Copies of this chain bind each other. A is one copy, B any other.
Amino acid sequence: MNGAESLVRTLVDSGVDLCITNPGTSEMHFVAALDKLPGMRCVLGLFEGVVTGAADGYYRMAERPAATLLHLGPGLANGLANLHNAKKARSGIVNIVGEHATHHLAHDAPLTSDVAGVARPMSDWVHTTATSRDVARDGAAAVHVARTPPGRIATLILPADTAWDEADAPALAPAAPKRPAVAPAAVMAAAAALRWGRGCALLLGGIGVREPALQLAGRIAARTGCALLSEFNSARLERGAGRVITQRIPYVVDSALALLKDFTHIVLVGAKPPVSFFAYPGKPSLLAPPDCQLSTLATVEDDILAALEGLADELDAQTLAPVHVAALDRPQLPTGPVTLEGVAAVLGALLPAQAIVVDEAVSSGRGLGGLTQGAPPHDWLTSMGGSIGYGMPVAVGAALACPGRKVVALEGDGSAMYTLQALWTMARESLDVTIVVFANRAYQILRGEFANVGAGAPGRRATDMLTLDRPVLDWCALARGHGVEAGQAADLETFARQLQRGLASAGPYLIELLL
């Protein structure tokens, strides 16, 4: 058994059975080991941002890490932006990054770079294997890190000689660590704050926005009248009919300030203190009022569910019916010209039960919440890191994790361009993803931000840098080029028909929605 084989066996034995790959020469022994040994599903991406984003989406839905296979420093670099998003989403990923053979590094061959230096900013753990006999142990350590709750980015750098030299035996990662329990004092403090009542909110994040936690939050709200908030973005928000609704803190600073202005105490449950996405001249970074007290019931790492159970017990709320529960309420299919409200109605009318919505619609996506919250239960995934190009790759990973569920990827045309190669992997793997590209032919969000930062009205050169209309991107052609069927919609009736077609198909389908 060589080092690569010992690593593949370690990964498979430790429960990592999906490897998303974009290999090069230095990874050929690992590829050969994947080829030879049973148990690992291999999925090819044609760009590394697809690979890392898919691993993020997989973790969010499967709740266990996939491995990635990346080629040296530049291959890892191409995957960094989506590793940034995954790290902020607290997804667990095991990155296997090839490196030149140890003896080759001194010669500064063209592809030589500081691989660990590239890895460090977007990894929670970076390790370079020293010899082939260490590979299995290092691989088990990487799996252990990746599945430490809520999830971490582990990057294992594998010099080619450690893959091809002889190894001993595979290793086994220890059982996934448990989430730490919160201190009883934190539960007491939260209960005291909520009992006081007026102006209180629970701000939910992490697994706090999934079904069992939401139910508990709804019971606590029933007892105390507290508001239920969620962060602007959530790795995986469970919502829809029958589920407790949280109010999302808006992206736009003034709207967020308005929402939060009357709160006197916010209890953080897997969430961080609310902060604006960007800084703007003369506006605050912190969104809660200065005199609002922030206290932490549970961090994103903690046993959030047990903390909420404890809080509900303390408040004697366990037997109450949750409040803020969404009723099944589907809008009529609208007609006429495309409006964002009309799009929301089409989605609300047609989203199937257990759909996984990956939302990277950016400026077009902000108004989709209201008309979709009465659709059957579904998951809503947003970008925790804010680096665009996350959506279609995360959709790939979600579809790999949940073959029985429909994935709906909502994409801005600007954001979709960063990782459009994801379409090919959807086609190759026949993934059940319907993609809606909101074709406003602009970096629309930046047109707003240009004004928000006080730069006034854009002139010709600035407009050129914020618009994508010269030439127009033909998303149907781009989809077909990647082997994905596609159609266009320029009114709401057509959009509804196109969406029905996509939802009815078993493989990927792209809709270019002209705004």
Contacts and interface: CB of A to CB of B under 8 A. Distances in A.
A121 B110 contact: no
Interface stretch (A143-151, A299-307, A456-464): A456-464
A291 interface: no
Contacts of A72: 387
Interface string A42-83: 101011010000000000000000000000111101101100
Contacts of A29: 453, 455
A278 B26 contact: yes
B455 A32 contact: yes
A195 B386 CA distance: 63
Contacts of A460: 35
Interface string A379-392: 00001111101000
Interface residues of A, number: 104
A373 interface: no
B481 A477 contact: yes
Contact of A110 (B384, B446, B461): B384
A174 interface: no
Interface in A116-165: 117-118, 120-122, 160-161, 164
Nearest to A78: B81
Nearest to A418: B47
A199 interface: no
Contact of A450 (B31, B414, B427): B31
A277 interface: yes
Given A109-B285, A118-B80, A465 B88 contact: no
Interface in A70-121: 72-75, 77-78, 80-81, 84-85, 88, 100-101, 103-104, 107-111, 113-114, 117-118, 120-121
Contacts of A6: none
A46 B417 contact: yes
A384 to B, nearest CB: 6
Contacts of A466: 31
A453 B28 contact: yes
A78 B74 CA distance: 10
A472 interface: yes
Contacts of A74: 80-81, 84-85, 385-387
B111 A121 contact: no
A495 interface: no
Contact of A104 (B85, B279, B449): B279
B474 A478 contact: no
A21 interface: yes
A25 interface: yes
A296 interface: no
A369 interface: no
A428 interface: yes
A75 B508 CA distance: 28
Contacts of A321: none
B277 A111 contact: yes
A478 B471 contact: no
Contacts of A424: 417, 468, 471, 473
A166 to B, nearest CB: 12
Given A462-B35, A471-B483, A473-B483, A285 B103 contact: yes
A482 B28 CA distance: 33
A276 interface: yes
Interface in A401-449: 414, 417-418, 420-421, 424, 427-428, 445-446, 449
Contacts of A477: 477-478, 480-481
A34 interface: yes
Given A121-B117, A278-B160, A481-B475, A49 B78 contact: yes
Contacts of A290: none
The 4 closest A-B pairs by CB, nearest first: A471-B483, A74-B387, A478-B481, A477-B481
10 contacts: A24-B449, A28-B446, A32-B456, A49-B78, A75-B387, A77-B122, A100-B279, A111-B386, A418-B421, A424-B471
Interface of A: 21, 23-26, 28-29, 31-32, 34-36, 42, 44, 46-47, 49, 72-75, 77-78, 80-81, 84-85, 88, 100-101, 103-104, 107-111, 113-114, 117-118, 120-122, 160-161, 164, 233, 272-273, 275-279, 281, 285-286, 383-387, 389, 414, 417-418, 420-421, 424, 427-428, 445-446, 449-450, 452-456, 458-462, 464-466, 468, 470-483
